[in-house]
Amino acid sequence: MNHFSYHRGTLHAEEVPLPAIAEAVGTPTYVYSKATLTRHFQMVTEAFGKHPHLICYSVKANSTLAVLRLFAEAGGGFDIVSGGELARVRQAGGDPAKTVFAGVGKTPDEMERALNAGLLMFNVESAEELEMLDAVGRRLGRRAPFALRVNPDVDARTHRHIATGLKTSKFGVPFEEAVDLYTRSRKMKGLSAVGLDCHIGSQLTRSAPMKAAISKVAGLYRSLKEQGHPLAYLDIGGGLGITYRDETPPSPQEYARTVLEASKDTGATLILEPGRVLVGNAGVLLTRVLYRKRTPAKTFVVVDVGMNDLIRPALYEAHHELQPVVKRRGKPVQVDVVGPVCESTDVLARARPIVLPQQGELYAVMSAGAYGMSMASTYNSRPRPAEVLVDGAAWRVIRERETVEDLWRGERA
């Protein structure tokens, strides 16, 4: 569900008409619904009921401070993949003791900062990383809490660029090596084994791959406990998908049933790392039509959103619905909606049937709350968009639009 809907032909975010935001802030602008963000968090945690669990929001999906603050205030933890994300979590009031640190390339400096901050645990992804974490722990005179991220070799049935649980993936430790690494860790004075982790990919829309992966990893968890490893956490990752067009991902309730059934009898506190499912449909990207262009082969609609603002269509061939902010009658024509960036891949939508817009009309790129602003860049020396948070009938700018002077901050001619 989301809180973007039409009222008298004009698209609103909660109670705020989107043209009012575009007029005041300009375009491109990301607009988020607070009601949607908080409701999605509640739905996931309520689905798991009284079973011991911790929701660690995946910061990479949307790392804006105001969004992080909302989840921190709701009692959530965080899943981070860099020292910069840890700094953002702390700046937003998040609790390091509810934060897990994933990623294949943690530096010793990042490990040290996270360990000093009181991190819940590191999700370790290789034997050499385990050795480095041990060295950092010993140097600081403490034991670093860790979980091994194991690769269950399960096909997530998602886009090849966001599948992470196959043998060919750079992520995780091969399943058959996990027991040996846990055994070795017992002799490492800078480590403390506290959990086990897996994550098979993003935008998961089927329960079967999740069930297969979690069942396999839960079996390993039980075996490790029987061998005397003092594990307490089973981190099942995130990746639950959303509806962009016609996908039918599992509901939070179905997802919880799948997870709880697959992980039963482990006695573990479950760590969940949702990202997209919390923020994806909680945000839209406002854009304005610049030009219409007809060629013998196609009709193009040129808008002011480029691939630097929203790279998902160019990177993942991702589909985003496009909605006119003010409805207008007319016969749809097939167009390519393209941006101003000097790349042939700067295309928001191909062969999309829409009523041909006039210059200056506003469109909303839907389902843009996840991997939108967090992946934005200044390519072509284009300042990044503004961000707005709507709360009922009120709204506020939570990130100012970058200026051209921001583009060269820190540079020396």
Using alpha carbons only, give the angle 325, 376, 310 rounded to the nearest 5 degrees.
40
Q: Is residue 28 a contact partner of residue 287, using CB atoms and an 8 Å limit? A: yes
45 by DSSP, 3-state: which? helix
Binding residue positions: 239, 273-276, 312, 316, 343, 371
Name the β-bridge partners of 192: 145
Q: What is the C-alpha separation between 315 and 113, in angstroms, rounded?
A: 32
Q: Is residue 84 a contact partner of residue 106, using CB atoms and an 8 Å limit? A: no
Q: Is residue 148 a contact partner of residue 175, using CB atoms and an 8 Å limit? A: no
Tell me: cis bond preceding 230? Omega within 30 of 0 counts. Answer: no
Q: What is the C-alpha separation between 26 and 264, in angstroms, rounded?
A: 51
Binding residue positions for pyridoxal 5'-phosphate: 239, 273-276, 371
Q: What is the C-alpha separation between 326 and 337, in angstroms, rounded?
A: 17
Q: Is residue 83 a contact partner of residue 114, using CB atoms and an 8 Å limit? A: yes
Question: Over the Cα atoms of the chain, what is R_g?
Answer: 23
Q: What is the C-alpha separation between 236 and 200, in angstroms, rounded?
A: 9
Residue 409 DSSP one-character state: T
Residue 245 DSSP one-character state: S
Q: Is residue 211 a contact partner of residue 261, using CB atoms and an 8 Å limit? A: yes
Q: Using alpha carbons, select from 91, 81, 99, 79 the residue that is nearest to residue 278.
A: 79
Token duo for residue 234: 């089973």
Q: Which residues are catalytic?
A: 342
Q: Is residue 339 a contact partner of residue 352, using CB atoms and an 8 Å limit? A: no
Strand 4-7 to strand 332-338: parallel, antiparallel, or no bridges (unpaired)? unpaired
Binding residue positions for substrate: 276, 312, 316, 343, 371
Which residue bears the tokens 């294949």? 104
For 207, residues 6+ apart whose C-beta sits below 8 A from its C-beta are 250, 254, 255, 258
Token duo for residue 179: 């027991």
Q: What is the C-alpha separation between 401 and 383, in angstroms, rounded?
A: 7
